[in-house]
């Protein structure tokens, strides 16, 4: 090797590491191991000789002028950088495998050249230092990693480089997106002037992935370090990833991120991987070997739902008996041939429940099953699970009978039509000319049964909140909708009729299961209520007072009381097309009919609940918070000059809570904004503003006592 020296003297070219980068210099003075060095930028520095990299030289004559020394340094640096970039590192690593565990830079240089000069050795040293995945510098030699270690370190190095690239371009781009979101700055184009502010396609893809992961799960530890670096300097707001994605154009305005957090696929394409299983279920619903083998129940069932309902999962028939009324309830029966534990079932379990939103419904089941093959359509035979129960004059009910059958509904009725018929009956006039008129007698019997049952439940301590829920409607384009919030048609009797029948059926099968030792999923609310809380409540302040004494209901295997319903046990099973617990309970009852025993024991149902609880919690958040978002947007669109009628529900020395009944909304404001006489039950008028729908924020700007 020509040009290499053992000890540096004045005129010797040397290299050392500074900031994890190789620096080249020329020795101008050496004294007892301390060197004075000239750098290519014409500056000088002092360095201990022990810090030099183990390739020294070449040795140039002393006494050179400063400009000549700088020129020599530039020549050596360019040669070494060019040679290092061309060094076949992977080939050298493969040649070293099995030959040496470690070797100096000279050994690697000699693999590809005879008598390499010092610039060639230095170039190899530089290249080996940069290849941290395959070599480790342990002066004066380079350790050669094994194939397994090299592969692992290569992956780590790739990850590090990607992270650095993301950090380098991503942080600035995120700041740009924040300006787009908040300062109405235009997003630079993908091509042309200004496009240099955008990241490369590879980096952009990774940034989008990070944002989507953080949007769906703000508490995730995935990409945590990367996210902290990317978002440094940006405000710590709850929905920053969502806002950046919308500013980027990756998500539309008003995007429903709650579905992402629930891992709930919208639309009706999520089931396509299970198309074969769904075809089999559709055929089984009508085939002689499947549901078609069931006997036909001759009763002329009718259903009552809203005008938009397509997944009809319950219908009824009521007849008078000696001493009371007899209800036969027909329920959609997907459980009859359902493959629990199969691929489709696991996907449905992860959905947990249907979700009904102003922008559209998200069905738990594929629509070809939930709104077609199993939906109880008038005039079409469907498999049904039936519950027959008698109610006496006092509203008490006898043990129920359960059976499976084919049901052919006489009609699918609407709440508003049924209410018009019931109103006419109450007024003693002829029923209106609508589709519900031919079923006036059935509606009258059904309402009689419902009133008996409600009175009996109230006598047992039931709490009934009669609070009409306004309807939210969206008009115009999805990217900029106008929101309408208003009370819908009022159908209290028709809704009472349906609600009490559903409660009755679930209470009756819960009693049957208790007597048979059949484990079920129960909805419980085991809390003691004062006797005076029983009844029907309509005033906002009174409802708030009573609600304070209630605890949230729970889904559990143990059969415990449900205080608000006034029932000793309650096993929901009337909505198997819409709620997974109802589907499970229906399957348990169907299996009991077939075999006399349970499909799942208590331990199996408890294990199922461990999976189901977080799913239902997440879906519940979508159902609660998404309509609230639209209501907040509605208030913002109305502006801060509108006065809204409300009723005070709670107050203390600091805050006052107000119900807005017409909008189904509660707001809180500072006590100082209200009249000193403010108290629960007082009518007020509010002016609202500073509305941030995304952040769930709204403020009372002004409050006055209603005249």
Predicted local confidence at residue 403, as pLDDT = 97
458, 468 Cβ separation under 8 angstroms? no
Predicted local confidence at residue 505, as pLDDT = 98
Q: What is the rounded CA–CA span in Å between residue 623 and residue 523?
A: 19
Confidence of residue 161 (pLDDT cuts 50, 70, 90): confident
Same domain as 193, residue 168: yes
Same domain as 584, residue 452: yes
Q: Average pLDDT, stretch 582-597? A: 97
Same domain as 61, residue 106: yes
Domain boundary among 128, 145, 162: 145
Written as one string, the DSSP assignment of 635-678 is: HHHH-TT-EEEEEEEEE-SSEEEEEETTTTEEEEEEGGGS-TT-
Q: Average pLDDT, stretch 83-99? A: 92
Same domain as 281, residue 220: no
Predicted local confidence at residue 290, as pLDDT = 64
**Domain for residue 459, yes or no?**
yes
Same domain as 98, residue 20: yes
The residue ranking higher by pLDDT, 450 or 148, is 450
**Domain for residue 338, yes or no?**
yes
**Domain for residue 1, yes or no?**
no
Could you give phi then psi for residue 670, rounded to 5 degrees?
Answer: -65, 140
> Which residue in the block uniquely carries the two structure tokens 């990607």?
162
Same domain as 566, residue 492: yes
pLDDT of residue 189 exceeding 70: yes
Same domain as 115, residue 212: no
514, 560 Cβ separation under 8 angstroms? no
**Domain for residue 625, yes or no?**
no
**Domain for residue 500, yes or no?**
yes
What CATH number does the domain containing 678 carry? Answer: 2.40.50.140
Same domain as 155, residue 138: no
Q: Average pLDDT, stretch 79-88? A: 95
Confidence of residue 626 (pLDDT cuts 50, 70, 90): very high
**Domain for residue 286, yes or no?**
yes
pLDDT of residue 495 exceeding 60: yes
**Domain for residue 67, yes or no?**
yes
CA 536 to chain centre: 36
Same domain as 171, residue 136: no
In tens, the pLDDT along 254-274 reads 999 999 999 999 999 999 999
Same domain as 566, residue 486: yes
In tens, the pLDDT along 343-365 reads 999 999 999 999 999 999 999 99
Predicted local confidence at residue 167, as pLDDT = 82
pLDDT of residue 524 exceeding 60: yes
> Which residue range(s) make up the domain with 61?
12-145
CA 551 to chain centre: 25
Confidence of residue 289 (pLDDT cuts 50, 70, 90): low
**Domain for residue 614, yes or no?**
yes
pLDDT of residue 1 exceeding 60: no
Q: Average pLDDT, stretch 668-692? A: 95
How many residues in the chain?
707
Which of 25-29, 158-162, 347-351, 422-426 has the weakest average pLDDT? 158-162
Residues 6+ apart with CB under 8 A from 30: 8, 9, 10, 36, 49
In tens, the pLDDT along 46-73 reads 999 999 999 999 999 877 899 999 999 9
pLDDT of residue 451 exceeding 90: yes
Q: Average pLDDT, stretch 182-202? A: 84
Same domain as 313, residue 451: yes
Predicted local confidence at residue 3, as pLDDT = 62
> Which residue in the block uniquely carries the two structure tokens 């390499």?
116
Domain boundary among 145, 172, 198: 145
In tens, the pLDDT along 629-657 reads 999 999 999 999 999 999 999 999 999 99
Predicted local confidence at residue 292, as pLDDT = 66
684, 705 Cβ separation under 8 angstroms? yes
In tens, the pLDDT along 216-239 reads 999 888 888 888 888 988 998 989
Q: How many alpha carbons lie under 13 Å from residue 448 in its C-beta half-sphere?
A: 20
Same domain as 104, residue 178: no
Domain boundary among 145, 162, 192: 145
Q: What percent of the chain has pLDDT over 70?
A: 99
**For helices 66-86 and 118-130, angle between their N-to-C axes, nearest 10 degrees:** 60
Q: Average pLDDT, stretch 528-552? A: 94
Q: Which pTM value belongs to this model?
A: 0.81
**Cα end-to-end span (Å), the chain:** 103
Q: Which helix (H) or strand (E) holds 175?
A: helix 147-183
Q: How far is CA 706 from CA 152, 565, 645, 646, 682, in A?
A: 72, 35, 8, 9, 8
How many folded domains does the chain comprise? 4
């Amino acid at each position: 090797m020509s040009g290499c020296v053992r000890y540096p003297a004045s005129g010797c070219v040397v290299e050392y590491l500074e900031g994890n980068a190789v620096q080249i210099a020329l020795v101008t003075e050496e004294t007892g191991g301390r060197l004075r060095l000239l750098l290519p930028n014409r500056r000088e520095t002092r360095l201990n000789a022990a810090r030099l990299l183990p390739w020294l030289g070449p040795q140039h004559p002393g006494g050179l002028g400063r400009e000549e020394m700088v020129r020599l340094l530039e020549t050596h640096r360019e040669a070494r950088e060019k040679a290092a970039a061309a060094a076949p590192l992977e080939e050298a690593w493969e040649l070293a495998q099995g030959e040496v565990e470690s070797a100096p830079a000279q050994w690697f240089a000699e693999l590809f050249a005879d008598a390499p000069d010092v610039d060639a050795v230095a170039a190899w040293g530089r290249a080996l230092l940069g290849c941290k995945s395959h070599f480790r510098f342990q002066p004066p030699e380079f350790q050669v990693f094994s194939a397994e270690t090299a592969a692992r370190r290569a992956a780590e190095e790739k990850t590090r480089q990607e992270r650095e690239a993301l950090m380098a371009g991503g942080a600035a781009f995120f700041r740009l997106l924040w300006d787009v979101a908040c300062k109405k700055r235009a997003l630079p184009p993908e091509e042309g002037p200004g496009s240099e502010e955008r990241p490369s396609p590879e980096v952009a893809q990774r940034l989008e992935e990070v944002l989507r992961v953080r949007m769906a799960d703000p508490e995730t530890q995935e990409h945590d370090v990367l996210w902290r670096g990317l978002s440094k300097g940006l405000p710590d707001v709850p929905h920053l990833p969502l806002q950046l994605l919308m500013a980027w154009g990756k998500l539309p305005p008003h995007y429903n991120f709650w579905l992402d957090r629930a891992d709930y696929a919208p639309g009706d394409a999520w089931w396509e991987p299970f198309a074969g299983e769904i075809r089999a279920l559709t055929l089984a619903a009508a085939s002689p070997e499947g549901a078609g083998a069931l006997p036909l129940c001759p009763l002329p069932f009718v259903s009552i739902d809203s005008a938009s309902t397509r997944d009809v999962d319950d219908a009824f028939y009521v007849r008078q008996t000696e001493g009371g009324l007899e209800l036969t309830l027909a329920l959609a029966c997907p459980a009859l041939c359902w493959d629990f534990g199969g691929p489709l079932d696991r996907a449905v379990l992860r959905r947990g429940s249907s979700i009904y939103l102003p922008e559209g419904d998200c069905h738990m089941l594929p629509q070809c099953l939930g709104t077609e093959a199993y939906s109880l359509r008038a005039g079409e035979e469907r498999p049904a699970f039936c519950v027959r129960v008698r109610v006496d004059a006092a509203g008490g009910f006898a043990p129920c009978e359960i059976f499976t059958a084919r049901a052919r509904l006489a009609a699918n009725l609407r709440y508003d039509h049924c209410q018009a018929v019931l109103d006419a009956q109450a007024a003693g006039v002829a029923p209106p000319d609508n589709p519900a008129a031919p079923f006036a007698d059935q509606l009258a019997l059904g309402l009689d049964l419902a009133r008996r049952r409600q009175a009996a439940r109230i006598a047992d301590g039931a709490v009934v909140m009669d609070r009409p829920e306004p309807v939210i409607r969206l008009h115009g384009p999805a990217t900029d909708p106008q929101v309408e919030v208003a009370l819908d048609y009022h159908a209290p009797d028709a809704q009472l009729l349906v609600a009490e029948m559903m409660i009755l059926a679930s209470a009756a099968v819960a009693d049957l299961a208790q007597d048979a030792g059949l484990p079920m999923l129960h909805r419980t609310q085991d809390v003691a209520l004062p006797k005076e809380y029983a009844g029907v409540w309509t005033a906002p302040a009174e409802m708030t007072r009573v609600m304070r004494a209630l605890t949230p209901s729970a889904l559990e295997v143990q059969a415990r009381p449900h205080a608000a319903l006034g029932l000793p046990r309650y096993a929901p099973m009337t909505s198997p097309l819409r709620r997974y617990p109802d589907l499970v309970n229906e399957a348990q009852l169907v299996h009991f009919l077939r075999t006399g025993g349970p499909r799942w024991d208590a331990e199996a149902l408890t294990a199922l609940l461990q999976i189901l609880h977080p799913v239902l919690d997440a879906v519940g958040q979508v159902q609660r918070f998404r309509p609230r978002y639209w209501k907040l947007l509605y208030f913002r669109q109305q502006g801060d000059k509108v006065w809204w009628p409300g009723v005070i529900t709670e107050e203390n020395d600091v805050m006052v809570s107000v119900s807005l009944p017409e909008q189904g909304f509660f707001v809180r404001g500072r006590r100082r904004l209200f009249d000193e006489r403010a108290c629960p039950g007082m009518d007020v008028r509010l002016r609202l503003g500073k509305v941030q729908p995304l952040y769930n924020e709204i403020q009372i700007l002004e409050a006055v006592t209603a005249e």
